[in-house]
Amino acid sequence: MNVAVTGAAGFLGDRLINAILAEDSPLKVASLLLVDTCVPRPRKDSRVRTLALDLSSPGAVEQIVTPERHVLFHLAAVVSGHAEADFDLGLAVNFDVTRALLEAARKRANNMRLVFASTVGVFGGDLPPVIEDWTAAMPQNTYGVAKALSELLINEYSRRGFVDGLVVRLPTVSVRGGAANRAVTSFASGIVREPLRGEIAICPVDEAQRLWLCSPRAAVRNILHAGTLNGAELGAWRVINLPGITAAVKEMIQALREVAGDEVAARIQFEHDETAARIVGSFPCQFDTKRAQRLGFVADRDFAEIIRNFIEEESETKVSQTV
């Protein structure tokens, strides 16, 4: 199979690539194209090619969507805080690029599998207590709007047989490695990652704020699973709310305290940020994901386990960097 990943230099993209290239990968990969605005980290694997590309530039999508392309994981996006600050950029990158990819697939490819990373941020407004697959997307942020627009088009292009699309709505991914980003949920990783590194973390929302979370490990496993799932199993709606766990900020901090001790947990400071608190507060935190689980998508056990996995992986990274 000829596979491509956009957003390949991103945190999830990088991990997804590892999983795609792994021996136990469910995808039999003949070639793998890594695409991002800056050149993605190269791999010691003859199947891999890297490409630095602004997807919103003219002719860009045709470099990715070719007649030979079988699977495209489209992760590239302007994150939530950035899209809220720059409306035009948010729509251009998070929606217009999706549309261009769909049009290219329709015209050039042969029922290409498109896996699209969407978000719990499509939800907002006056919501029922538990989100189901037939709950309306009424996003209260530009990022969520662009993702919801993309979802509708992917479902429609799939219905018309132009593409074989599949949308996974990711919970807030925590704990992300690397550095903070402009996602309004960036703190959900920062309040674990920074204290564990001996640094102070700022939490912009109230400790009672509840989140819908999944680990990077579960996120990657589920995105990859979406690459191989039979599209017909999804019926008339190619959009899936992925499994996750619900935790309040104070429960996340309590889990950190249990795993890493009081001293580490004491490195979290609260500084209210109105925009972040409003947008995060508009996201739902309880889901019924029976459909996703029936389709083989997985959830984490609890947040303490997520923290333990993060510590383990960070120390492995350190060892491999030292070596």
Query: Which C-beta is closer to its own copies: that of 293 or that of 315?
Result: 293
Cβ neighbours for 13, distance < 8 A, ≥ 6 positions apart: 5, 6, 7, 34, 36, 40, 73, 75, 76
- Among 38, 85, 152, 179, which residue interacts with its own copies (rule: CB under 8 A)? 152
Q: Are strands 210-214 and 268-270 parallel, antiparallel or unpaired?
A: unpaired
- Which residues within the stretch 15-74 sit at the binding site for its own copies (CB under 8 A)? none
- Which residues within the stretch 261-290 sit at the binding site for its own copies (CB under 8 A)? 282
* x-marked contacts with its own copies along 158-177 as a string, rule CB under 8 A: -xx-----------------
- Which residues within the stretch 68-127 sit at the binding site for its own copies (CB under 8 A)? 87, 124-127
Distance CA 237, CA 232 (A): 10
Least Cα distance to 280 among 102, 118, 46, 123 occurs for 123
Residue 134 φ/ψ, nearest 5 degrees: -105, 20
Q: What angle do CA 140, 143, 148 make, to 5 degrees?
A: 80
Which among 11, 95, 143, 310 is annotated as catalytic?
Answer: 143
In 3-state terms, what secondary structure has residue 35?
strand
- Among 10, 13, 81, 139, which residue interacts with its own copies (rule: CB under 8 A)? 139
- Among 148, 192, 218, 247, which residue interacts with its own copies (rule: CB under 8 A)? 148
Query: Which C-beta is closer to its own copies: that of 220 or that of 280?
Result: 280
157 is catalytic: no
Positions annotated as catalytic residues are: 143
Q: Which residues bind its own copies (CB under 8 A)?
A: 87, 124-128, 133-140, 142, 145, 148-149, 152-153, 155-156, 159-160, 235-237, 239, 282
